[in-house]
Amino acid sequence: MTSYKLQVKNCPPNSRSQASGMGQEARLRRAGFELIEMLIAISIITASVAAIISVAQKSIQVSRQSLHQAQASFLLEEGAESVRTLRDTSWALVLTLIPGITYYPTWVSSWTFLPTPNTVGIFTRTITVQNVNRDISDDITASGGSLDIGTKLITVTVSWQEGGTAMSKSISFYISDIFS
C-alpha cells in the first residue's frame, strides 16, 4: 500500500495531467481512498473473525471441561462408596488404612486400597484417611480431645489435566463404625 502511494507521489503532476487529464487524477485519488476504506473493512472483518474463533475455541474448552467434571463427579462418588463397602465388610479393614498415607482405590474383584498409583483414563483418584478427635461433649474437634477409633475422616480427590492445567475435585466425609 505504501508503494502504491509512493508511485502516485513520484509521478510528476504535469505528466499526470498531460497524459490522462484531471479525470484520471481524481480517479486515482478516489482509488487511494477506496484502498484505505478496504483496509479498514478488512481490519474490522479480521478482528471480528478472530474474536469469533477465540469464542469457538473457548466453547470447546468449556464443553470438554464440563464433560470431565461430570466424569470426575461420578469417580468421586465411586471413591466414597468404595470406602463404605470396606466399612460394610469390616471396620477392621478401615482401620488398616493408615492416616496420612495416600491410597489409590483399585478394582481387584472388589475395592482394594493400594499405595501404588493408578489412573482411570485421564483421572487420578486418591483417598486419604484422617483420625477424628472428640471433645468432652463428644463433638468432633480439630485440636485436642481424645481419639475416636470408631470414626474416620475420608477425603477423596480426583485430579486430571485440562489442556495443560491441573484440575481437581475432592470431597470429605466422616465414616463411622455403625455395624460393629
Partner 1 sequence: MQLFNQKSKNASLGSSDPKSNCCRGATIFELLVYILIFSLTSIFVIDAVIVMTKSFAETRSNHDLLDGGLNALERMSREIRLAKSIDGSNSTLDVSPGVLFLNTTDDAGNTKTVEFYLNNGVLTLKENGAVSGVLVGQNISVTNLVFRQITTVQGSAIKVELTVQDTRGSAHRTEDFYDTIILRGDYQ
Q: Which residues contact partner 1 (rule: CB under 8 A)? A: 1, 3-4, 7-8, 10-12, 15-16, 18-20, 24, 28, 31, 35, 38-39, 42, 45-46, 49-50, 52-53, 56-57, 59-60, 63-64, 66-67, 70-71, 74-75, 77-78, 81-82, 84-85, 88-90, 107, 110-111, 120-121, 179
Q: What is the DSSP string of 124-157?
A: EEEEEEEEEEE-TTS-EESSSSEEEEEEEEEEEE
Provide, rounded to whole angstroms, the least separation between the CB of residue 127 and partner 1.
13
Burial code of 146-179, b = ≥16 C-beta within 10 A, e = fewer?
A: eebeebbebbbbbbbeeeeeebebeeeeebebee
Angle in degrees, 0-180, between the axes of helices 21-89 and 2-10, rounded to the nearest 10: 170
Provide, rounded to whole angstroms, the least separation between the CB of residue 124 and partner 1.
14
Query: In this structure, what C-alpha cell is assigned to residue 41?
Result: 473493512
Residue 86 vs 132, nearer CB to partner 1? 86
Amino acid at 83: V
Provide, rounded to whole angstroms, the least separation between the CB of residue 103 and partner 1.
16
Alpha carbons 141 and 137: distance in angstroms, whole number: 10
Provide, rounded to whole angstroms, the least separation between the CB of residue 39 and partner 1.
8
Residue 132 vs 156, nearer CB to partner 1? 156
Alpha carbons 31 and 20: distance in angstroms, whole number: 15
Alpha carbons 19 and 67: distance in angstroms, whole number: 70
Residue 10 vs 137, nearer CB to partner 1? 10
Residue 35 vs 101, nearer CB to partner 1? 35
Provide, rounded to whole angstroms, the least separation between the CB of residue 45 and partner 1.
7
Residue 9 vs 136, nearer CB to partner 1? 9
